[in-house]
């Protein structure tokens, strides 16, 4: 398949032409949620970037095999389940279910497989045994098994750390640590009393896997030893993805991943949105405040994935406005009946939009430019509609293009088309029109508010008043 897609590859820090190992088929792995709490919208920025990436590849005609893991055993899940005094499985099942509910309301397309770490312990044990046999792993005096980073000359190639400066033999057993603390890391953690009843009796002894080995084992099981795309937030570059490379490449002797893609963080007042800072919102928090989940989706998608940005409620309001503009436009297209032909203007604008939108998205998912071209298009077609210069066929063509682009954006969905107004509502609309003509604004506004309560939203356009049902 011939496309001109370019992606920024964290490994090379360059934009590279994208071509999958198997023509036409893309294999991608995205680090999924740690199911120890409700995911916050910072996490969903990562999952929405991955959704956009996948939808773009599908739009360009690729088949995509997408694997997203669930981290259901690690330091955080164990701590969380103990705090709530419930078994680990019951604890993580609860948050996994919440995660699936949230991705549904955000209109995130499902991955093909959602492997859970706890269901892949034998694969992890086998991988660790291979690493031990090849001399990359050793057992510490605490019984845990560590990866010897000094044995892997490429260690640091993703995060660009200089291994020569590290203390030889120093070890770290927790899953998360800073670049400055790069050391031999735990592949298998020998059981300690703080782990309670979370352990597996295996050939490596009684214990549990480290976080990093989980993703190496699950990605290679479902996608093969070398696959195309691996994603996550920038905080995953080190240590998680650096360690995944070290584990997988040492075990197989092959390149692990061709394109590493990382999204920047969602911030709040300049600081990363994170559980530990307490500056987060969950999707549920925002739904409880009455926001449309699709506005959240639009907000998180509409900034380029490699750019940081601050979450604000003003931003969310303007995202809501942008989604409404697109939906109103599609609604208006449905209503075109018997306009004049635009004499080729619509076809020219349509071709221009397809080229601009496509060219921008091909260039490392430049969503900002893609959306700007979309809104220019909406404005120009609206101008033609205002002068009745769009035929029914042209409106259908534009509507078709909007639906195709919405396969990528996922924000318009099915719009309600106007039907005949029930008589009581119709008489209220007429009454309001009469009040407006008489410049009795107070009465006109009161009727508008009354209609809103009935779920009917009015729009005053140059073509007269239009209405639609409010989305639930
Ligand atoms: P976790 O559940 O903590 O493993 O995180 C799931 C995903 O969310 C990972 O890819 C993280 O890199 C990403 N992530 C965490 N916080 C943020 C944030 N504030 N902005 C964007 N992505 C984030
Ligand atoms: Zn991972």
> How do residues 249-260 score in pLDDT, each as one tens digit?
999 999 999 999
> Would the pLDDT of 199 be above 90?
yes
The pLDDT, as a whole number, for residue 436 is 87
Ligand 2 center to 242 CA (angstroms)? 11
Ligand 2 center to 245 CA (angstroms)? 11
Q: Which ligand is the nearest neighbour of the Cα of 69?
A: 2
Q: Ligand 1, closest atom to CA 43? A: 8
Q: Cα(326)–Cα(375) distance, rounded to whole angstroms?
A: 8
Ligand 1 pocket check for 42: Cβ under 6 Å: yes
Sorting pLDDT into bands at 50, 70 and 90, what band is 393?
very high
The pLDDT, as a whole number, for residue 460 is 75
Which residues make Cβ contacts (< 8 Å) with residue 346, sequence separation at least 6? 381, 384, 390, 394, 397, 398
Does the bond joining 276 to the residue before it have cis omega, within 30 degrees of 0?
no
Ligand 1 center to 236 CA (angstroms)? 8
Once rounded to an integer, what is the mean pLDDT over residues 89-105?
Answer: 98
Once rounded to an integer, what is the mean pLDDT over residues 123-128?
Answer: 98
Once rounded to an integer, what is the mean pLDDT over residues 7-36?
Answer: 98
The pLDDT, as a whole number, for residue 384 is 96
Q: Cα(116)–Cα(102) distance, rounded to whole angstroms?
A: 18
Ligand 1 pocket check for 45: Cβ under 6 Å: yes
Q: For the chain, give the percent of residues with pLDDT over 70.
A: 96
Q: Which ligand is the nearest neighbour of the Cα of 281?
A: 1
Once rounded to an integer, what is the mean pLDDT over residues 188-205?
Answer: 97
> How do residues 37-95 score in pLDDT, each as one tens digit?
999 999 999 999 999 999 999 999 999 999 999 999 999 999 999 999 999 999 999 99
The pLDDT, as a whole number, for residue 234 is 98
Q: Ligand 1, closest atom to CA 275? A: 16
Q: Ligand 1, closest atom to CA 267? A: 19
Ligand 1 center to 71 CA (angstroms)? 12
Q: In this structure, are residues 53 and 44 in contact, taking their beta carbons and an 8 Å threshold?
A: no
Once rounded to an integer, what is the mean pLDDT over residues 91-114?
Answer: 98
> How do residues 165-182 score in pLDDT, each as one tens digit?
667 678 988 888 888 888
The pLDDT, as a whole number, for residue 338 is 77
The pLDDT, as a whole number, for residue 97 is 98
The pLDDT, as a whole number, for residue 387 is 93
The pLDDT, as a whole number, for residue 451 is 86
Ligand 2 center to 116 CA (angstroms)? 11
Ligand 1 pocket check for 43: Cβ under 6 Å: yes
Quote the strand ranges of 253-339, DSSP E.
257-263, 266-268, 271-272, 309-310
Q: Ligand 1, closest atom to CA 76? A: 3
> Would the pLDDT of 446 be above 70?
yes
> Would the pLDDT of 164 be above 70?
no
Ligand 2 center to 230 CA (angstroms)? 9
Once rounded to an integer, what is the mean pLDDT over residues 355-377?
Answer: 98
Whole-number average pLDDT of the chain: 94
The pLDDT, as a whole number, for residue 416 is 67
Once rounded to an integer, what is the mean pLDDT over residues 444-451?
Answer: 88
| Other Cβ atoms within 10 Å of 153 Cβ, number | 9
Ligand 1 pocket check for 249: Cβ under 6 Å: no
Q: Cα(239)–Cα(156) distance, rounded to whole angstroms?
A: 9
Ligand 1 pocket check for 236: Cβ under 6 Å: yes
| Exposed e or buried b per residue across 53-91, where buried means at least 16 C-beta atoms within 10 angstroms of its C-beta | bbbbbbebebebbbbbbbbbbbbbbbebbbeeeeebbeb
The pLDDT, as a whole number, for residue 401 is 98
Give the CA radius of gyration of the chain. 27
Ligand 1 pocket check for 273: Cβ under 6 Å: yes
The pLDDT, as a whole number, for residue 428 is 86
Q: Ligand 1, closest atom to CA 236? A: 12
Ligand 2 center to 31 CA (angstroms)? 4
| Other Cβ atoms within 10 Å of 109 Cβ, number | 15
Residue 331 vs residues 267, 348, 371, 402, 419: alpha-carbon distances, Å = 35, 22, 19, 11, 11
Place of tokens 């584990």: 247
Nearest alpha carbon, ligand 1 atom 11:
233
> Would the pLDDT of 463 be above 70?
no
Q: Which ligand is the nearest neighbour of the Cα of 309?
A: 1
Once rounded to an integer, what is the mean pLDDT over residues 102-114?
Answer: 98
> Would the pLDDT of 1 be above 60?
no
Token pair, residue 113, equals 């497989």
């Amino acid at each position: 398949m011939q496309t001109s897609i370019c992606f920024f590859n964290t490994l090379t820090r360059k934009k590279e032409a994208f071509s999958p190992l198997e023509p036409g088929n893309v294999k991608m792995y995205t680090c999924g949620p740690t199911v120890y709490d409700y995911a916050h919208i910072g996490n969903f920025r990562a999952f929405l970037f991955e959704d956009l990436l996948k939808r773009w590849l599908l739009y360009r005609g690729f088949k995509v095999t997408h694997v997203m893991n669930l981290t259901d055993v690690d330091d955080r899940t164990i701590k969380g389940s103990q705090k709530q005094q419930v078994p680990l499985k019951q604890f993580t099942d609860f948050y996994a279910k919440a995660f699936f509910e949230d991705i549904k309301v955000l209109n995130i397309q499902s991955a093909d497989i959602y492997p859970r770490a706890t269901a892949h312990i034998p694969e992890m044990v086998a991988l660790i045994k291979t690493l031990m046999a090849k001399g990359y792993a050793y057992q510490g005096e605490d019984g845990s098994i560590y990866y010897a980073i000094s044995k892997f000359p490429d260690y640091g190639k993703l995060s660009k750390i200089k291994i020569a400066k590290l203390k030889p033999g120093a070890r770290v057993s927790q899953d998360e640590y800073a670049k400055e603390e790069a050391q031999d890391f735990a592949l298998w953690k020998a059981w300690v009393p703080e782990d309670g009843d979370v352990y597996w009796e295996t050939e490596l002894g009684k214990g549990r896997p480290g976080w990093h080995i989980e993703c190496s084992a699950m990605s290679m099981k479902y996608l093969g030893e070398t696959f195309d795309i691996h994603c996550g937030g920038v905080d995953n570059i080190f240590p998680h993805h650096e360690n995944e490379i070290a584990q997988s490449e040492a075990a197989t002797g092959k390149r692990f991943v061709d394109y590493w893609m990382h999204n920047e963080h969602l911030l709040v007042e300049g600081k990363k949105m994170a559980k530990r800072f307490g500056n987060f919102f969950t999707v549920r928090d925002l739904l409880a405040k009455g926001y449309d989940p699709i506005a959240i989706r639009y907000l998180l998608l509409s900034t380029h994935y490699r750019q940081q940005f601050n979450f604000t409620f003003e931003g969310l309001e303007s995202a809501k406005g942008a989604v409404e503009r697109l939906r109103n436009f599609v609604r208006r297209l449905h209503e075109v009946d018997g306009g004049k032909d635009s004499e080729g203007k619509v076809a020219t604008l349509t071709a221009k939009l397809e080229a601009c939108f496509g060219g921008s998205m091909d260039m490392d998912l430049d969503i900002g430019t893609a959306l700007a071209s979309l809104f220019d298009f909406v404005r120009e077609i609206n101008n033609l509609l205002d002068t009745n210069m769009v035929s029914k066929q042209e409106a259908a063509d534009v509507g078709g293009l909007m639906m195709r682009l919405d396969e990528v954006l996922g924000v318009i969905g099915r719009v309600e088309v106007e039907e005949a107004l029930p008589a009581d509502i119709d008489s209220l609309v007429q009454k309001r029109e009469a009040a407006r003509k008489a410049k009795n604004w107070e009465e006109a506004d009161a009727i508008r508010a009354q209609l809103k309560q009935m779920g009917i939203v009015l729009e005053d356009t140059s073509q007269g008043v239009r209405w639609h049902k409010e989305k639930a």
